[in-house]
Structure 1
Amino acid sequence: MTWVEVDDDSGFGMDNLPYGVFSRPGELPRVGVAIGSFVLDLAGLSADGLIENNRWFAAGSLNGFMVAGRAAWQANRARITELLSDETFRDRVEPHLIPLTTVELLRPIEVADYVDFFSSPDHAVNTSKIFRPNAPAPAPNWRSLPVAYHGRAGTIYASGAPVVRPCGQRKVDSRLAYGPCLKLDYEAEVGFVAGVPSAPGTRVPTAAFADHVFGFLLVNDWSARDIQSWESQPLGPFLAKSFATSISPWVVPLAALEAARIPQPPQDPAPLSYLEMNEDWGLDLTLEVLINDQVVATPPFSRMYWTSPQQLAHATVNGAPLRTGDLFASGTVSGPERTDRGCMLELTWNGRDPIDLPDGTKRTFLEDGDTVTIRATAPGLSGSRISLGEVTGTVLPANP
């Protein structure tokens, strides 16, 4: 319960309390927490002595708070819960509630490194059939390790930032050409962000996931499929992915997702010892993908084969150090039905089967002017649904 007026369907009740970074005209960015239709200004609360002031919140990113560690995260969440539920604090806290309609939501983290995994069995099978129809689907190593590529941190953009259609090399009718991407795509993904670093030469075991990871957010890993199919022979992807990745403005803390945790799908063969799981870390998230405000897919995250702790364990097993702000994305979230598919490549089978939008138009891939929105919800501890917010971006014409 809270004294703040919160719509039951907002997804931003007391079960959630996600962190983000916002600004108002003429003011510097600062850290806040979403509650209903408001953002709670944590920098203001700390200046007034209502929460601990360690210069975490008068900042343009969450990184300073994330590096403080799990005890600080838990204590701050407990204090915010107290402030928003105890009526005696209302007069002092209410001035720090700012309507979301009056602020700009910014990129919440300063990204250190970016890794994108490939963990949906349905996506792995479908892409293998599309790009390698005569090869095993998925590749033989896929069920033995969490496959990933290392992306570019410098092109991680805030939700709402436009996405310029990339240019590059591609094959057209067996001829090599340069020009704007003709098969621009989105990928509906869920990411997690590291707060507490690890030492070089050490690894982060699956059991230590919650000691290092601050929370989850939504990711759109924009993809240039025609550039990707040509450059990924045999390495890649490279330019087909590095031009833009968008992330949602709210980072949902692990504590808010306790009710969403479910058993992960069975893994066969049994994973090696460093990938073994001793607790459930599947997540019952429901994603929704919209093109120009029209729903085209509802991918189920619960089917993901590799869990987030396994992904983190694999990313660090060689001794690569974890850094504050490291972003790890799940890979495209897909399911067995056509409406479950989390990208245009799968939805249209590489352009062979166009999709019909509710407004009567058709798409094989994204067109200039298209706006893609990905949103997600999860079960909350009180039986409500919590929101992971949304990540959105509009396609702009190429600069050849």
Structure 2
Amino acid sequence: MVAAALVGCRGAVTPEVTAEPLESVTTVLEVRWDRIGDSVGWVELPDGTVAPDVGDDPVQHRVLVAGFPQLTNVSLLPVMTVDGQRIEGEPYTATTGVLPAGLPLFRYTTVAQQEVDPPFLLVTVIGQSSNALILNREGEIVWYSRLDANTDAAKAIWDPTYGEVAFLYNARDRTNDISSIRRVTLDGVAYPDIRAIRGHHALAQPEEGVFAFLSADIRDPDGEGDVIGDAIVEVDASGAEREVWTAWDEVPFEGRFDADAFYEVGYDWLHGNALNWMPERNSYLYSSRNLSTVYEIDRDTGEIIETFGGPGDRPFDPPDAAFMAQHSPSYTPEGHLLIFDSRLPDAPEEHARIAEYNVTPGRLEMVREFKALPGYHVMALGDADRLESGDTLSSWGTVGQLIQFNEEAEEIWRLSSDIGFVVGDVQGLPSLYPE
């Protein structure tokens, strides 16, 4: 524990300040000091970052300082205003704690020639144990939330309003439906889980307090046993659900083809693997791996707006630019369709890539592709996001790579995880504090 005092401009000594690592998240420092009346408090860092008061303690100011790896000396300046007067302490140093055992390590394998943004990355990692992690650009863990034993999460999302992480977890063996949405604060406190019945793979947040997920919609359409389709379901913190869309109403079931053992409970018809919210269009992009098709679905009506790939109306230009077994569709600011194209993992010549298409009335025109050298077969997961800078941030699933490309599709930065860990979707974070 580090202790100091705040001193006003007239030399009046105010309450003692303490700072120490949290037990729940050892890389986060908790800074505390007593309130004086209606005082407003915060902590300033040397780089200009301001860590705000959490505001959950009526007696003390409580500030969480995050963004630093284990065993880092952090210079802190606690500040408060009392009756309009700024009162600040002398800068002092506190040290973050030691990470718990079992978390994965990342290696900085392509060093950026200049600073890359955003400074932090939110990613899920699946291995012997599964975790939601926030990394800095050197691959060091600055925040973590450990999942329950034998559960996995493919995607975590950041809520900038409250500075919280949310993820949908499910049973690793997919035989027991325990799927739920967990929200975790910066200090590692979890709210009560929100049940997400038969939820899998994906999570989105269309509005504050509402989450959307993929729910396995199981039916027997031909009397030959259960078939697993997909529904898009929205749920709020109370557990109240609303079905936005089900594939059974919109996508023709054309029979059973390849044997598929992904789910023991039935035939995996669609294998939905992504659900991304497009706020500018009030729509969801849903990815069906097994149909190599992406559907855009209107949130209000549940109607399919667009169909890309598979039975879609737009041919690919050139014809060999088609995506296959894709993940993570999204629109870029230009209106292009960005896809993690898994290709055919069992074909030696087919390496995964990121594909970007111009959506025209008559076709999907290949704009560019992004390839990770020396070439990888990605057996599961994969993600691609267009950043504000124009760069493309990506995760490469089972090969454990996080890669950033510039606008010329050149690799400018890469992290590699420990062998045996799979990386889920990745999201860049400009800050770890609420907006």
* Fold match (TM-score > 0.5): no
Q: Tell me which protein shows more helix as a share of its residues.
A: 1
How high is the TM-score relative to the length of structure 2?
A: 0.26
Q: Tell me which protein shows more strand as a share of its residues.
A: 2
